[in-house]
Amino acid sequence: MLLSSCVQYGLLELKSKEGYKPTDQFKKIEKPMPGENVDDFLIECLNTPELYKKLIAEFKDKQLPSETGLANILDRKYGVKGNAASIASKVFLKNLSVLGMVNGDNIFTINSYITYTEEKPDVEPIEINVINQRIPLTLPLLNSSVAKPSAGPLITKEIPVYLSGGREAKLSLPVDFSDDDLKKIVKVLSAYLP
């Protein structure tokens, strides 16, 4: 299941007679160059699955529906049926939340240099392979790469945030911070937006 998710997000590719190989995208996330923001690469991964491209086009800069509302949209408009629609809804919304793409008013915004392929959402069903109705809750490696404690006695983790003009801010968090902690931080920071 994890391998399949990594392929869908563009982190791994399956090569004939070679097996799974890391993509350039994975290498950018695993070993970023100075001045690169890993979150931008994770946002690129979010825009890789066909279903996500359509959902991003439909909801960009708009208020997101509830988990149940999105599940109904996935079922009726995109052909994701039954329990798979509920799981897919939860996965998509959790990914947006973890990447800080939802503000306090539940508006989905993309704050990245990444350009998205603007697609008009259509009503054609999308075929999704869901094995045993199980889908991982977040982008592979997202939580583990952010929250992984580093070696040594450090109790905090600094996350660089690269700003325009070559400036840099640093967010200092406890090593064991959770998704709920991130949601609180995003909510507080979004209060400073005009």
Task: Tell me: pLDDT of 106 over 50.
Answer: yes
Domain ranges within the chain, ordered by starting residue: 36-140, 148-194
Q: What is the dihedral of CA 170, 141, 98, 134, to 10 degrees?
A: -170
Span 53-92, pLDDT tens digits: 999 999 988 999 999 999 999 999 999 988 889 998 998 9
Please give the Cα distance from 159 to 46 (Å, whole number): 20
Separation CA 46–CA 96 (nearest Å): 8
- Reduce the DSSP state of residue 177 to 3 states and report it: coil
Residue 98 pLDDT class (50, 70, 90 cuts):
confident
What is the distance between the alpha carbons of residues 106 and 49, in angstroms, rounded to a whole number? 22
pLDDT at 7: 86
Chain mean pLDDT for the chain: 75
Please tell me the number of Cα atoms within 13 Å of 118 on its side-chain side: 2
For residue 42, pLDDT over 50 is answered with yes
- Those residues whose C-beta lies under 8 Å from the C-beta of residue 193, and which sit 6 or more positions away, are 103
Asked if 119 contacts 53 with a C-beta cutoff of 8 angstroms, the reply is: yes
pTM > 0.85: yes or no: no
Secondary structure, 3-state, 68-136? HHHHHHHHHHHCCCHHHHHHHHHHHHHHHHHCCCECCCCEECCCCCCCCCCCCCCCCCCCCCCHHHCCC
pLDDT of residue 82: 86
